[in-house]
Amino acid sequence: VLPKLYVGSAVAAQSSSLLLAHGITHVLNCCTLPNTFEDMAGGPTYLRLGLMDSLADLPRMGEAIETGVQFTHAALTAGGAVLVHCHKGISRSCTLAMAYVVWSQVREGGERTERKHACQALARLVSAAPRSSVLLVRSAARRKTRSS
């Protein structure tokens, strides 16, 4: 998606060789599956959001996005590499990755070329994400706007 920011499935998150090959230091687990290497020495740092890919999660989506974005930002700022994953790697993980791309560009004031790269990254994610991811991001953005 961006340098050191990856989106994948639970299968990718369970592959120690894949995590090592990409230098993954942090894993943002967007689903309810367990964190495979959480208790292993030298394993990645985890955050599990416990989202169920259901409209039932909509009321807490804003908080989950904010928590996931902060985790991702802290990891990348520290020089780490982040894998954002859900069960299949096409909905919840893409939503969180899109949220991070948007947040980071807004936060940095995004120069024109940076905005272009952000738009290209978002386009790649949207093409992979089902419509529900886009709706969840829009809903969270509306909720954030109303609470401001």
State the catalytic residues: 86
CB 65 within 8 A of CB 109: no
CB 108 within 8 A of CB 114: yes
Q: Is 125 helix (H, G, I), strand (E, B) or coil?
A: helix
Contacts of 92 (CB under 8 A, 6+ apart): 30, 31, 49, 51, 53, 86, 133
Task: Measure the CA–CA gap between 84 and 127, rounded to whole angstroms.
Answer: 17
Task: Measure the CA–CA gap between 54 and 87, rounded to whole angstroms.
Answer: 13
Q: Residue 45's beta-bridge partner residues?
A: 26
